[in-house]
Amino acid sequence: MPVSLRSDQDLADSIVCVLSDVDGVMTDGRIIYDSSGAESKQFHVRDGLGIKRWINSGFTFGIITARSSEAVRRRAEELTIDPVYQGVKDKAACVTGVAKSLQIDLNQIAYIGDDLPDLGPMKAVGLAVAPADAARDVRDAAHWILSKNGGDGAVREMLERLLRAKDRWTVEGTR
């Protein structure tokens, strides 16, 4: 596990971009096919609000996933998520490409993943995050291990933690 004695504020300070896996992070990892073969996914509404607040605070939220799904495309469009990369074979190379296209350093990126294909990007970025139910090796590589499971508000927990550490979290009617 990356040993970090740095506070949330120190870890969050340089982060301007969050990149997320989908299956097992934004969803519970189950893949559901109906009788016609159509795939469906279930997303947590609180993750969506967290993503919107992150984006509306002037930061970038993107998706990098090995699978391709119309449900992911639709959810990303609903939340104005950009960039979105589906069908990615080498996630670490994709993260490097995102950094170059945004003209930021890798240490300005947080990546949240749950399984072995996420280890490369997690090791490359400034803040590696894992849901509570992530694979053991992924939890061992994470700076932050969340209390929420994938698909159960883990993305919201991470984004709220980042925004609070940056003193950018507000509750309507306060502050």
Q: Is the pLDDT of residue 48 over 70?
A: yes
Per the domain annotation, does 3 fall within a domain? no
Report yes or no on 172 lying in a domain. Answer: no
DSSP assignments along 43-96, one per residue: --HHHHHHHHHHHHTT-EEEEE-SS--HHHHHHHHHHT---EE-S-S-HHHHHH
* 17 vs 160: CA distance, rounded Å: 14
Say whether pLDDT at 175 is over 70: no
Does residue 2 sit within a domain?
Answer: no
Tally of structural domains, the chain:
1
Higher-confidence position of 56 and 34: 56
Cross-strand bridge partners of residue 33 = 39
What's the whole-model pTM score? 0.93
In a domain, 100, yes or no: yes
Report whether pLDDT(4) > 70: no
Tell me the three state secondary structure of residue 128. strand
**How confident is the model over 11-37, as a mean pLDDT?**
94
For residue 173, what pLDDT band results from cuts at 50, 70 and 90?
A: low
173 in any annotated domain: no
Q: What is the mean pLDDT of residues 103-114?
A: 98
Q: Classify residue 34 by burial, with Cβ atoms within 10 Å: 0-12, 13-18, 19+.
A: exposed
Residue 30 lies in a domain: yes
Task: Name the pLDDT band for 174 (thresholds 50, 70, 90).
Answer: very low
Kindly report, residue by residue over 124-161, the tens digit of the pLDDT. 999 999 999 999 999 999 999 999 999 999 999 999 99
Instruction: Give the CATH number for residue 90.
Output: 3.40.50.1000
Task: Domain of residue 78: give its range.
Answer: 8-165
Residue 5 near residue 127, CB atoms below 8 Å:
no
- Asked whether residue 55 is assigned to any structural domain, the reply reads yes
In this prediction, residue 161 carries a pLDDT of: 96
* Domain-located, residue 170: no
| The predicted structure's pLDDT at residue 144 | 96
Q: Which residue has the tokens 């509750």?
A: 171
